Amino acid sequence: MRSPPHLLLPSLMVTLLALLGPSAGAVTVTVGLSISDVHYDMKVNSDERRQVTDTALVTGWLRTEWTDASLARSGGGQTSRRLSSTAEMWLPDIRHLNTIESASPSLLTNSSDGIVDASGKVHFETPVRFAVRFIPKDFNRSFEIRLGSRLMTTAEMNLQPADDTLDVSEYTGWYLTNTWMWKNETTRAGFTEPFSLLVAGVFPTVI
């Protein structure tokens, strides 16, 4: 059964906005990372009795913000509202690029929860679990978490760190000597524009 014309047009507009994104140019997406725990899974060479590899399992929250003018509201009412469904809205493609587990899907999906204020500023708090591997050297167990897109170049999405350090206010594990987050860009064969790359680093106390 065909939809009446007065119902079909709004439906097409919603779909078009989701495909085009919140603006004609690149969308600036601010990204922050809050760490709640770091667990080390250590493997030892039984012959030489020395540690040969480490896996760090990091849990926390990924905080993302961007502005979507199509979600802005005029007039009174609450300053912000819960997004009950994100199926028809534009979402940034952000993935964990250096995972040691199966290939990372986008960290924000249609089932993610978020809020939006009257100006169209969107805020998501997404629970995350990152697994990274590194080879210890001189008891240095620092590691990096690389976040970026496999689909959206800088022409569509511009990732920016929310701060130059990570949020450790809810961290309950070993003391962290230093954390950092910085932005870079990377190129990929077959694409003209580069991709945004965020590198989050953690330098823990030797344990």
pTM of the model: 0.81
Mean pLDDT of 63-81: 82
CATH number at residue 36: 2.70.170.10
138-172: pLDDT as tens digits: 566 789 999 999 999 999 999 999 999 999 999 98
Parent domain of 142: 25-204
Instruction: Report if residue 3 sits inside a domain.
Output: no
Query: Which residues are CB-contacts of 131 (< 8 A; sequence separation ≥ 6)?
Result: 55, 56, 57, 58, 99, 100, 101
| 54 phi, psi to nearest 5 deg | -130, 145
Instruction: Report if residue 12 sits inside a domain.
Output: no
Query: Which residues are CB-contacts of 15 (< 8 A; sequence separation ≥ 6)?
Result: 88
58-92 burial string, b = 16+ CB within 10 Å, else e? Answer: bebbbbbbbbbebbeeeeeeeeeeebeebeebbbb
132-143: pLDDT as tens digits: 987 666 566 789
HSE (CB half, 13 Å, CA atoms) of 57?
Answer: 5
Instruction: Report if residue 112 sits inside a domain.
Output: yes
Alpha-carbon distance 194 to 186, whole Å?
Answer: 5
Please state the domain count of the chain. Answer: 1
**Is the distance from CB of 145 to CB of 137 less than 8 angstroms?**
no
Q: Which value, to the nearest 10 degrees, does the dihedral of the CA atoms of residues 133, 176, 148, 137 take?
A: -30
**Is the distance from CB of 203 to CB of 142 less than 8 angstroms?**
yes
Instruction: Report if residue 8 sits inside a domain.
Output: no
Instruction: Report if residue 20 sits inside a domain.
Output: no
